[in-house]
Amino acid sequence: MHRIVIQRPGGLDTLQLLEESVPEPAPGEVVIACRACGVNYADSIIRMGLYASAKKLHGYPITPGFEVAGTVAAVGEKVEHWQPGDEVIGLSLFSGYASHLRLPAEGVFAKPAALSFEQAATVPTVFLTAWWMVHRQVHPRPGETWLVHSAAGGVGSALLQLARLADVQAIGVVGATHKVEHARSMGAQAVIDKSAGELWREAEHLAPEGFDAVFDANGVATLKQSYEHLAPTGRLVIYGFASMLPKNGRLNWFKLARDWLRTPRFNPMDMTQSNRSVLAANLSFLQSHAPAMREGMQWLLERFADSRLAPLPVETFALNDAANAQRRIESGQTIGKLALIP
């Protein structure tokens, strides 16, 4: 088998391809022969050494990657629901950049026939993150108005689709004109193109009373204004800090420290007077909620199977080209998802 390993945090050259023996499943485990491996922006943060769960829950050396799709290669004792050859999706805490992945059977799900392996491998992380924020934190009501930053990215695209299913009016925000049509196709009622207009002036025009929820993965660039544009009882949901991180694979520690100091600190006294809330989510720290995650995956896969949810466009790279895949996702120019093909 082959897998990508990061011996220690650093630049793109730290992504090394190793050749090893295919693992044998232990009791209760499944080995997946991976046909595609999802790529997420979090994988780049792991490579840089800034992803908290990678340091606290795993350490280095580490193989990044949270999601794969493929066929069952082997099953361990006490595994009853899977057989070799079954087409499956695997949800993993790291280790996903690999041609073969050993997982507990609880982390394996049947791949909907409607999805290709590339599409299936890019579902779990972004759609589960969106599902958790929408249905475990925000609890949508029909008729609400949401603002979705990074609306052409993986989580943003998933949020727009979940908003549509919940009869919520979602306004998407994108950073380039070539992303506008994709956001509309995912369900955005309107799209604000930051490269062509002033974000908050347009947001105020579209939602003069404020937003019932704002989903923000930008960090310091937008958090303060996102909070200030909430309606009474509005909820700001934070799931990333992309504007603080580099687009060229190299950390600027001065900028990182400056942006950390500039990041808003929300005042609980103001929150109680304005009836606004701040929520946050990180899928990799939700392992204690594994039953809820399984529930969310089943809910999502049912809706992919009957086409209520649509897969995202996927840009593919060879497994040994993981550095270029991460360079591409860090550029901020991608639409949808990326996948590695072993």
**DSSP assignment of 223-251, as one string?**
HHHHHHTEEEEEEEEE---GGGS-SSS--
| pLDDT for the residue 253 | 82
| pLDDT for the residue 248 | 72
Instruction: Return all residues near 313 (Cβ < 8 A) that are at least 6 apart.
Output: 182, 335, 336, 337
Residue 138 and residue 101 in one domain: no
Q: What is the mean pLDDT of residues 203-209?
A: 97
Residue 26 and residue 118 in one domain: yes
Residue 266 and residue 143 in one domain: yes
The reply to whether 301 falls in a domain is: no
Please write the tens of the pLDDT for every residue from 109-136. Answer: 999 999 999 999 999 999 999 999 999 9
Instruction: Return all residues near 322 (Cβ < 8 A) that are at least 6 apart.
Output: 4, 15, 17, 39, 97, 340
Instruction: Return all residues near 195 (Cβ < 8 A) that are at least 6 apart.
Output: 175, 176, 177
Task: Give the separation between CA 101 and CA 273, rounded to whole angstroms.
Answer: 50
Q: How many distinct structural domains can be found in the chain?
A: 2
CATH number, residue 105: 3.90.180.10
Please write the tens of the pLDDT for every residue from 160-170. Answer: 999 999 999 99
| pLDDT for the residue 290 | 85
The reply to whether 137 falls in a domain is: yes
The reply to whether 336 falls in a domain is: yes
CATH number, residue 193: 3.40.50.720
Residue 244 and residue 155 in one domain: yes
Task: Give the separation between CA 288 and CA 7, rounded to whole angstroms.
Answer: 27
The reply to whether 303 falls in a domain is: no
Measured in degrees and rounded to the nearest 5, phi and psi for residue 151 equal: -70, -15
Please write the tens of the pLDDT for every residue from 260-290. Answer: 888 899 999 989 999 999 999 998 888 778 8
Residue 112 and residue 136 in one domain: no
Please write the tens of the pLDDT for every residue from 134-144. Answer: 999 999 999 99
| pLDDT for the residue 221 | 92
The reply to whether 297 falls in a domain is: no
> In which domain, by residue range, is 173 found?
125-284
Residue 264 and residue 172 in one domain: yes
Q: What is the mean pLDDT of residues 83-96?
A: 97
Residue 170 and residue 199 in one domain: yes
Residue 106 and residue 145 in one domain: no
* pLDDT band per the 50, 70, 90 thresholds, residue 33: very high
pTM for the model stands at: 0.95
Residue 226 and residue 275 in one domain: yes
Residue 136 and residue 114 in one domain: no
CB atoms within 10 A of CB 281: 20
Residue 102 and residue 130 in one domain: no
Residue 115 and residue 16 in one domain: yes
Please write the tens of the pLDDT for every residue from 285-313. Answer: 887 788 899 999 999 999 999 999 999 99
